Amino acid sequence: MSDTPMLSAQDVARHFDVSKPLIQRIIAREGKRTLRAVDGLSFDIPKGTTLSLVGESGCGKSTVARLVVGLYGTTRGRVMFDGQDLSLARADSKQRSRMQMIFQDPYASLNPRWRVVDIVAEPIRAFGLMSDKQAIITRVGELLTQVGLSPLDGQKYPHEFSGGQRQRISIARALSSNPEFLVCDEPTSALDVSVQAQILNLMKELQTRLGLTYLFISHNLAVVRQVSDRIGVMYLGKLVELSPAETLFSAPRHPYTRALMEAIPDLEMTGRQRIPVGGEVPSPISPPPGCTFHPRCPLANARCKVEVPVMKPAGTAMVACHAVEEGRATL
């Protein structure tokens, strides 16, 4: 295996124009308005590993998922897929078949009017990987077995399955083009906890067996801990911390990462007093100047209010925080 990362994002940004219509803008004398959903993100995902992105709603994590498979174009920066520019890779169906996506809602992502066999076989047909009808059916049977369903389930419709089973169908569909890279956008957040465990176990098994590379998007830190090699924490369209999974949990550095961990209800009930982080995520249309986290940050000072922090190495982690850099944040 070469050292080229499966995926490499270099200063990727995606802005959306959310201006009002021209006439209204003229009447109200307003300018254009831009939503910076993702604003300068850089990361690599080595082959066979899992990178997770966590953050609260509106932090841009789902936008990243769509950017790296080419569902959105980039406003700035570029995405490299196995050493090749993503826009070139997208044009080549052979390259394109190497990446697949699993979505959050297994109720919305499967066509209710198709039989499961057709749903799972769609990528095979779309990429022209096989043409023999019988061979396709056999292959679909194998895929269904691989995700823990029966080949006979192919004849059923999605509504005959529970949420967890549907997510298994989504995974079988994603695997049908023999991809190497899977983007999973909140694959378990619509599922019950006992079913979530089934799906997470299945995804780990498949990774070991097929050598898959995952980009895993989630808001749940406990889930992320179970599946990731490295974790990136996002806040308002930017990465604030990127570390090996164990480091992030044993020594979280960025004040936002710590706040997120504090916020998780404690199942062990050690009687630890939680200090909820104050305030709310500001609007990405008019983010605060300087470090976007400063209005909620207990360590913010004058510098944080004006100067945007950049990602700098801190131990094995990368952190974008003035307080960490200046040594004001105690571990």
Binding site for other proteins (CB under 8 A): 56-57, 162-165, 192-198, 200-201, 204, 219-223, 225-226, 245-246, 249, 259-269, 274, 276-278, 280-281
For helices 163-175 and 116-126, angle between their N-to-C axes, nearest 10 degrees = 20
Q: Which residues contact 296 (CB under 8 A, 6 or more apart)?
A: 256, 259, 277, 278, 279
Nearer to other proteins by Cβ, of 18 and 222: the residue is: 222
Q: Which residues contact 307 (CB under 8 A, 6 or more apart)?
A: 290, 291, 322
At its nearest, how many Å lie between other proteins and the CB of residue 102? 18
Query: By the 8 A CB rule, do 43 and 51 touch?
Result: yes
The SS3 call for residue 51 is strand
At its nearest, how many Å lie between other proteins and the CB of residue 170? 16
Token look-up 């005959």 returns 160
At its nearest, how many Å lie between other proteins and the CB of residue 190? 10
Query: By the 8 A CB rule, do 241 and 257 touch?
Result: yes
Within 10 angstroms of residue 253's Cβ, the number of other Cβ atoms is 24
Nearer to other proteins by Cβ, of 123 and 158: the residue is: 158
At its nearest, how many Å lie between other proteins and the CB of residue 76? 27
Nearer to other proteins by Cβ, of 102 and 121: the residue is: 102
In the β-sheet with 7-17, what is the strand arrangement from edge to edge? 34-45, 7-17, 76-81, 84-85
Q: What one-character DSSP code corresponds to residue 313?
A: E
Within 10 angstroms of residue 290's Cβ, the number of other Cβ atoms is 18
Q: What one-character DSSP code corresponds to residue 43?
A: E
Nearer to other proteins by Cβ, of 137 and 200: the residue is: 200
Nearer to other proteins by Cβ, of 135 and 263: the residue is: 263
The SS3 call for residue 206 is helix
Nearer to other proteins by Cβ, of 8 and 165: the residue is: 165
Token look-up 């994603």 returns 174
CB half-sphere exposure, 305, CA atoms < 13 A:
5
Nearer to other proteins by Cβ, of 24 and 250: the residue is: 250
Nearer to other proteins by Cβ, of 45 and 221: the residue is: 221
- CA–CA separation, 159 vs 163, rounded Å? 9
At its nearest, how many Å lie between other proteins and the CB of residue 216? 13
At its nearest, how many Å lie between other proteins and the CB of residue 28? 18
